[in-house]
Structure 1
Amino acid sequence: MTKKKYVIVGAGGRSLYMFAKPMATELQDYVDFRGVFDTNRTRAKLLSEECGQVPVYADFHQMLAEVQPDVVVVASTDYTHHFYIIESLEAGCDVISEKPMTIDEEKTRAILEAERKSGKKVTVTFNLRFAPYFAKVKELIQSGAIGDVYHIQFEWFLDRDHGADYFRRWHAEMKNSGGLLVHKSTHHFDIINWWLASRPKQLQAFGARRVYGDQGQPKGERCMTCEYTTTCEFYKDITQDPFMDQYYVGAEHEDGYWRDRCVFDERIDIYDTMSVNLEYTSGALLNYSLVAYSPYEGWKAVINGSNGRLEVGNVHRSADMSAIEASTITHHRLDGTTELIQVSTQMGGHGGGDEKLRKAIFIGDVEDPLGQQANSLAGADSCLIGATANRSIAEGKLLQVPDLRSLCQ
């Protein structure tokens, strides 16, 4: 078989472990991995060393011109996604984009227009669709187990390690990530959109900073140089993590990026407490919440339909959701009977979703009865819920979620 030529933009942890290392090892019979580009050349070189000395490029356009790749994998910082996606499409490449596809409506429109004009394809890597537990819920809904879905209550809670980490990094500024309602919640909104097979219509949202940001606490610039290391709950020595020490502390001289900024920094303008009330075109209603400072981590949801109810959720013991064993779906029927459905979820990153997703997008030729592969429109819908929620919080009112389907025709 003829292998497609791939290049990667971005050399952070997600790029390395989700894409680059698997492309260089388990997927090498299907992938001709030809280049990596990152604005931080030190990180790009480190990734190259771990992936068989894949060529490192100092310029993105040079990489496109020299390699002429079939596919560009975009795993850079969120606010740069649109640039690399559009440039790749215009160069005649298909694109695999890490979620979120982008961070606001303007950039979403630009991506969809570029995709339509180019005739190429954007795939968004929503790995939770491939996690067996989430897929089983989709299967049950799709089979009519609870009839028409009328209402979903969905709660996601990040613990005080994983949650706090977003406030140390570039994610802490709305201009970089769109906040957690885009960067993190895009996962959750996409799952709900997928379960319902419906598109978002209108919403009202609320958001606040209750724990992180400038709350008047004693603080420093970063953990590494802080004088409150013995008294701050959120102190973290990233030099104790070999990956963090090598890829970030060891790369600071390139761009001055600190991976351990203070979680109480004045620059922080994203929310740590969020709720969204959303109506779908199907008539289904969603009550969604996200907090970033829970004592433990996981999610819970209740799905109410015309013929029954599903109660679902997991508690995680790791940020990538890999440390889960068996999970139960509780199916309540209208006749008063209850069925407990066990789903094995100890299958690697994101509840087993990462590996299954890679097989689907890099190997292909697999049946997709549940519609797990996500295109640019799915990426747009999930992003636009978060972006519209941010606007709703700022403006204090109910807003329509933009429908950009006409741009895909």
Structure 2
Amino acid sequence: MVKRYVLVGTGGRAEYFYGAVVRDFRETSELVAFCDINQTRMNYANRLLEEKYDHPQIETYLAKDFEQMIANEKPDTVIVTSVDRTHHTYIIKALELGCDVITEKPMTTDAEKCQAIIDAVKKTGREVRVSFNYRYAPHNTKIRELIKDGVIGEVFSVNFEWALNTQHGADYFRRWHRDKRNSGGLLVHKSTHHFDLVNFWLGTTPETVYALGGLRFYGRENAESRGVTNFYQRAHGSEVAKNDPFAINLEENKHLKAMYLDAEKEDGYQRDQSVFGDGINIEDTLGVMVHYKNKAILNYSLNAYLPWEGYIVSFNGSKGRIEVHVREQSYINSGGNKEDEGRLEEKSITVMPMFSESYEVEIEEGEGGHGGGDPILLQDLFGTPLEDEFNRAASHVDGAMSILTGIAGNISLNTGQPVKVDGLVKF
């Protein structure tokens, strides 16, 4: 049976999904329409379909005509890759109109919208899948296997440091993510990956969250405190930006130019804002402590301005310790190098038993982005799913439990108090 798909939001993350459908899954999947607030951007997506994937152009609908698109195209599934703050709108409408949903992470940005999605799933009986590709990476699956097999016994604590470098990390401060109303900040938009991994690795869910952090490096006030005086609001047309290593030149990248610069006339969105400009209200330095229902604790940190990209995580258990070091390829969203997203440069998993010698764990080499996780996830979404002993397919419940850690963290940042996750939504 061939399933029909429509896609909402043709920005930076869209091609990851629609490219896979038309390139690798034509026998099981059919892409029938794009939907967006911006016609220029949809036209560019159609050009890519034709020129890059040898696929006929498809119907386009402006966002205001979403319901008409569903009525006309009769999709089985709606793929949601729009701005984070709008995810819930399209997810809920799609469910109510009889469609299943595949949504980009994060599923949504706050507890109220999360509750609305939970209620819609319950009311309609339809399915929401959240695309957590990091679960599928062979090294992350191996960590789950080691813990599940009891190699270090019961896990009592986890230390998890995620580093975003000055290429990838800075990009969140150039784009719409810099406004917390759009993204929920990095604790929701980015850390949803990481909190989901901990839930997945430990087979548990968060109970209490306490967070600290702020905007320490990016933003005009921080630049001024470091003696920076040559400011600009966006790179395009700015002489000052030419000497700024944090600036991005849309004119130099034909993909970015077509997707964003040429589309500005319709919605006014500027993809190349200064990371040291005004209007940034998300954090770049974050620390979170989480207490889980299985009594494990997590000490987590995220910094978005470091000289390397990747993560270090250690698990401390009743029979020993696991240490994981992963260095990733740096990446700029929708910069035309999506095959390099999350590509591994170095990785190691070391098991340290309590009373015997430490040893390195052999890790299967995965092809493709996110450490080899992307092709496996896409097969699971659009092909014929294989039996999976690790249950990596993520539902709306998994999507909720990952973002609720970040949402609770945001509340804690504002109140200075620990936050109980169970009080945020009802399943």
TM-score tier, shorter chain, comes to: over 0.9
Flag the 1:391–1:345 CA change in 2: closer, same or farther, 3 A. farther
Please list the CA deviations of residues 195-238 of structure 1 after superposition, one character each: whole Å capped at 9, or x if unmatched.
Answer: 11111000110111111112224311101132322443312212
Partner of 2:337: none
Residue number among 316, 323, 327 corresponding to 1:304 in the alignment:
316
Amino acid at match of 1:227: E
Distance 1:117 1:184 in 2: 29
Distance 2:346 2:376 in 1: 18
- Give 1:239 deviation, angstroms: 1.6
Partner of 2:156: 150
Secondary structure, counterpart of 1:368 in structure 2: coil
Secondary structure, counterpart of 1:204 in structure 2: strand
Contact kept, 8 Å, 1:102 with 1:108, in 2: the verdict is: yes
Distance 2:277 2:240 in 1: 14
Alignment of 1:356 with 2:376, yes or no, is yes
Residue number among 89, 106, 109 corresponding to 1:100 in the alignment:
106
Partner of 1:193: 199
- Give 1:33 deviation, angstroms: 1.1
- Give 1:321 deviation, angstroms: 4.3
Distance 2:311 2:215 in 1: 20
Q: Which moved more, 1:353-362 or 1:180-189?
A: 353-362
Amino acid at match of 1:155: E
Residue number among 100, 108, 117 corresponding to 1:111 in the alignment:
117
Secondary structure, counterpart of 1:13 in structure 2: coil
- Give 1:317 deviation, angstroms: 2.3
Listed as ranges, the matches of 1:275-294 within 5 Å are 275-294=287-306
Distance 2:283 2:426 in 1: 32
Please list the CA deviations of residues 65-92 of structure 1 after superposition, one character each: whole Å capped at 9, or x if unmatched.
Answer: 1011110000111000000000000001
Distance 2:341 2:60 in 1: 31
| CA RMSD across the alignment | 1.4
User: TM-score normalised to the size of structure 2?
Assistant: 0.92
Secondary structure, counterpart of 2:231 in structure 1: coil
Q: Which moved more, 1:398-407 or 1:307-316?
A: 398-407
Distance 1:312 1:375 in 2: 26
Secondary structure, counterpart of 2:135 in structure 1: helix
Residue number among 44, 47, 63 corresponding to 1:46 in the alignment:
44
- Give 1:265 deviation, angstroms: 2.1
Q: Which moved more, 1:109-118 or 1:398-407?
A: 398-407
Please list the CA deviations of residues 338-387 of structure 1 after superposition, one character each: whole Å capped at 9, or x if unmatched.
Answer: 11013244511111111100101112331110010000011001111111
Partner of 1:30: 28
Q: Which moved more, 1:250-259 or 1:180-189?
A: 250-259
Distance 2:83 2:198 in 1: 25
Distance 1:235 1:345 in 2: 34
Residue number among 267, 283, 290 corresponding to 2:279 in the alignment:
267
Distance 1:352 1:33 in 2: 24
Partner of 1:14: 13
Partner of 2:3: 4
Distance 1:353 1:403 in 2: 33
Contact kept, 8 Å, 2:167 with 2:330, in 1: the verdict is: no
Listed as ranges, the matches of 1:1-400 within 5 Å are 2-16=1-15, 18-51=16-49, 52=55, 53-58=57-62, 59-215=65-221, 216=224, 217=228, 218-319=230-331, 321-325=341-345, 327-345=347-365, 347-400=367-420
Contact kept, 8 Å, 1:377 with 1:405, in 2: the verdict is: no
How many residues align? The count is 405
Secondary structure, counterpart of 1:120 in structure 2: coil
Amino acid at match of 2:393: Q
Distance 1:3 1:221 in 2: 47
Amino acid at match of 1:289: S
- Give 1:313 deviation, angstroms: 2.2
Distance 2:193 2:213 in 1: 18
Please list the CA deviations of residues 301-353 of structure 1 after superposition, one character each: whole Å capped at 9, or x if unmatched.
Answer: 00111111110021112325443256221000011311101324451111111
- Give 1:47 deviation, angstroms: 0.9
Distance 1:344 1:34 in 2: 36
Partner of 2:335: none
Q: Which moved more, 1:4-13 or 1:216-225?
A: 216-225
Contact kept, 8 Å, 1:160 with 1:292, in 2: the verdict is: yes
Distance 2:357 2:84 in 1: 46
- Give 1:404 deviation, angstroms: 6.9
Secondary structure, counterpart of 1:225 in structure 2: coil
Structure 1, unpaired ranges of 5+: none
- Give 1:29 deviation, angstroms: 0.6
Distance 2:423 2:311 in 1: 28
Q: Which moved more, 1:23-32 or 1:333-342?
A: 333-342
Distance 1:345 1:397 in 2: 43
Q: Which moved more, 1:262-271 or 1:341-350?
A: 341-350
- Give 1:107 deviation, angstroms: 0.3
Structure 2, unpaired ranges of 5+: 50-54, 332-339
Contact kept, 8 Å, 2:328 with 2:345, in 1: the verdict is: no
Distance 1:277 1:106 in 2: 23
- Give 1:273 deviation, angstroms: 0.1
Amino acid at match of 1:162: H
Contact kept, 8 Å, 1:276 with 1:389, in 2: the verdict is: yes
Amino acid at match of 1:114: A
Please list the CA deviations of residues 112-146 of structure 1 after superposition, one character each: whole Å capped at 9, or x if unmatched.
Answer: 00011001000000000001110110111111111
User: TM-score normalised to the size of structure 1?
Assistant: 0.96
Q: Which moved more, 1:45-54 or 1:297-306?
A: 45-54
